[in-house]
Amino acid sequence: MIKVLIVDDHQMVRFGTRRLLEDESGLQIIGEASSGEEAIEAVDALNPQVILMDVQMPGIGGLEATRRCLRIAPDVKVIALSMHDGEPFPSKLFEAGAKGYVSKRSDPEELILAIRKVMAGQRYISTDIAQNLALRPFAEAQQSPFEQLSGREMQIALMVIRGMGAAEMGKKLILSPKTVNSYRYRIFEKLDLKNDVELTKLAIQHGLLEAESVA
C-alpha cells in the first residue's frame, strides 16, 4: 500500500484529489496539509511515501517545502502539482528533489500513473510539460527571465510577489532580514528591475501568477 500525503491550500482541490485516489487499488491517503509548513509537520508525523505538493501556496510555498520535507525524509517521493506548464517551475522543483511534475490540467489517470512511476524509481513529467521543456532550445526568445534565478532566489521572489516583508520571509526561511534583502536586490539586479511592483508585473507577464491573485 502506497501512503500518500496531499498538500494544497485549496480545500476543494484536496477533497477532489482524495476522492480520485481513494478508489484506486494500492493507494492510501494518510493525511492532508494546507501549506508547506503543515506538510513538513505531516511528513515528520505520518511518514508518507509520496507527497502530492502544490507548487504555489501561501507561506514558504511548495519549492521550499519540498526541500525541507526531503531533509526530514530523504526517501519520500515528491510529485509537484501546478497550473504552470512552463519554466521556471519544473526545473526548480526537480533541482529541489522532486521526482515528478504534473500539470493540474492533466487527466486524473495521469496523476495515478505518476505515483506509480515515481514509486518504481522513475521520474515523471506530464506530456505537455515535457514537450515544452524539449522545445526550449528552439524558443530562446520565449524563455522566462525567471529561469536565471537560483532556487532560493526564486523562492524569495515568489514571497515578495505575495507582499511578504523581509522580517516575515526571514522567519519562514530561517534567514536574517539582511540576508533576505541581499537576495532581493540580487533578484532585481538579475532581472533588471527597480522595485517590488516591477517584479510583480513581470511575474504576471510571464504567467507565474494570475493578476487577480495579487490584487
**30 and 128 together in one domain:** yes
Statement: residue 32 has pLDDT above 70: yes
Give the number of other Cβ atoms within 10 Å of residue 21's Cβ.
Answer: 20
- For a pLDDT cut of 90, what percent of the chain falls above it? 56
Mean pLDDT for 193-213 is 76
Note whether 117 and 155 are same-domain residues.
no
Q: Where are the beta strands (DSSP E) in the chain?
A: 2-7, 27-33, 50-54, 77-82, 100-103, 124-125
How confident is the model over 118-134, as a mean pLDDT? 81
Last residue in a domain, options 84, 108, 136:
136
Q: Label residue 203 by pLDDT band (50, 70, 90).
A: confident
Same structural domain for residues 111 and 159?
Answer: no
Count of the separate structural domains present in the chain: 2
| Domain end position, chosen among 94, 109, 136 | 136
Q: How far apart are CA 42 and CA 69, in angstroms?
A: 9
Task: Check which CATH number belongs to the domain holding 78 and give it.
Answer: 3.40.50.2300
Distances (CA, A) of 149 to 17, 133, 181: 31, 17, 15
- Report the distance separating Cα 198 and Cα 149, nearest Å: 16
Residue 140, pLDDT score: 52
Look up the domain containing 210 and give its range.
144-214
Residues 155 and 196 in one domain: yes
Has residue 75 got a pLDDT over 60?
yes
120 with 183, same domain?
A: no
**Residue 57 sits in the same domain as residue 130:** yes
More confident residue, 208 or 79: 79
- Where does a domain end: 136, 153, 168? 136
pLDDT of residue 119: 96
Mean pLDDT across the stretch 159-188? 90
| Residues 127 and 93 grouped into a single domain | yes
Residues 122 and 46 placed together within one structural domain of the fold? yes
Range 125-149 average pLDDT: 68
Verify that 23 and 59 share a domain, yes or no.
yes
Query: What confidence score (pLDDT) does residue 86 get?
Result: 67
Do 39 and 21 share a domain, yes or no? yes
Q: What is the predicted pLDDT for the residue at 11?
A: 94
> Any idea what the CATH number is for the domain that residue 182 is in?
1.10.10.10
**What was the pLDDT predicted at 6?**
97
pLDDT band of residue 54 (cuts 50, 70, 90) is very high
Please check whether residues 103 and 69 belong to one and the same domain. yes
Show the cell assigned to 122: 522513475
Are residue 94 and residue 16 in the same domain, yes or no?
yes
pLDDT at 125 over 80: yes
